[in-house]
Amino acid sequence: MKLIPFTITALVNIGVGVVLFFALLLGLNGYSGKQAEPGLILFIAWILLTSLLVAVLSIVMTNFLTAKKSINFWVSSLISVLVFVILGAVINVVGWFASLFVTEALR
């Protein structure tokens, strides 16, 4: 049962990362492959680590809400998934900007 919030949160955040990856490719238009490589590597690592972190935190929040607050598992899963999908998306947008700045700084 604990895998449900983990899986949903991770997959949605990776999906957001894929959309942002294509936006990053558009943002890096005009850079050569060699110049854009550090930004792309940073962004891919950022997305994977962020997705893993928010998915684990989603499980922790689900367990907290279920055990301490006596909320139904499904309701607590829904709350934690929504909170950490939004948080992960915001962090991924920050990573998108960081990748652009790193690419520009190393140009």
The reported pTM is 0.89
CB-facing half-sphere around the CA of 24: CA atoms within 13 A: 30
What is the crossing angle of helices 3-27 and 73-105, to 10°? 20
Ramachandran quadrant class, 36 (left: phi over 0; alpha: psi -120 to 50; beta: rest): alpha
Distance between CA 24 and CA 100 in Å, rounded? Answer: 8
What pLDDT sits at residue 79? 95
Instruction: Convert the pLDDT of each residue in 25-65 to its tens digit.
Output: 999 998 888 889 999 999 999 999 999 999 999 999 999 99
What is the domain partition of the chain in residue ranges?
Answer: 3-105
Instruction: Inform me whether the pLDDT recorded for 106 exceeds 90.
Output: no
pLDDT tens string 63-80: 999 999 889 999 999 999
